[in-house]
Amino acid sequence: MGATLLMSRIGHRTPVNSSKPDWMEESFNGYDEEANKIVREGIANLLIAQPFYGSILLRLRLEQQAIGTFGTNGRVLIYDPRFAKSLTHKQLRGVLAHEAGHVAGLHPLRKGYRDNHKCWNVSCDHEVNEIVLNRSGFELPEGTIPPRQGLAEEFYEEYQKRKKGSEEDEGDLPEGWCEVGGIELEPGETFEEVEREIKDIVREAITISQEAGKVPEGMERIIEEYFSSKLNWDEILRQFISTHKEP
């Protein structure tokens, strides 16, 4: 699966009229073994400290791209090796937990027919950072979307209602680097197959974490709310079509 799809990103934000961080000036030409080692060791350390998050990441394929951040589509962990090498050990652990939290929260699946990518991504970051920062005590890089208690769907609707009627207006969204999309299928795949695959990853993480202790605080509500039910893809498609009809 290509890395151009539905990424939930966390990374460095370059303010307007400011210079790029030093690490973005470094060249990247395909593959960085040092960064690969750093990320893999980070996942191994997270598996020991927080088996729930670490076991999710072990199931994802790693892919390097010059995207300036980390991202996931529920099946692939995409990262910029330059950014990975710029993080402290604590920040890397937090970023990895953040990405695993998007998978655990089923954010790629829950996006459904929502087509405001930035709004959905910010909404998901509010949700996952409330767990990763406030409840699990991880450290994230400067400029992280602030945590809020609630569900991504609630935040999305709130931001959409605050829009001023223009497609360009983002409803006072916090600045961030995130981009959460829906599901992009491989040839011959179905939505139901992708849903089952991602849920299997989370189900295995639940089992492992329960054997080691418990699921991280805050994740229980997300799992109870969305994990037991099967998404209605016919309804999602119907709503998507209805919201994209020509006037």
H/E stretch holding 11 reads strand 8-11
- In this prediction, residue 114 carries a pLDDT of 83
- In this prediction, residue 179 carries a pLDDT of 47
- In this prediction, residue 85 carries a pLDDT of 95
CA distance readout (Å), 91 to 38, 57, 86, 139 = 12, 16, 9, 5
For each successive 10 residues of the chain (247 residues), what is the average pLDDT? 44 46 67 95 94 94 89 89 94 95 90 83 92 89 90 92 63 56 75 90 90 81 69 50 47
CB 177 within 8 A of CB 10: yes
Read off φ and ψ for residue 167, nearest 5 degrees: -65, -25
CB 119 within 8 A of CB 171: yes
- In this prediction, residue 124 carries a pLDDT of 92
- In this prediction, residue 247 carries a pLDDT of 46
3-state SS, residue 8: strand
- In this prediction, residue 46 carries a pLDDT of 94
pTM for this prediction: 0.81
Tallying the residues shown for the chain, one arrives at 247
Closest CA relative to residue 80, chosen from 5, 3, 141: 3
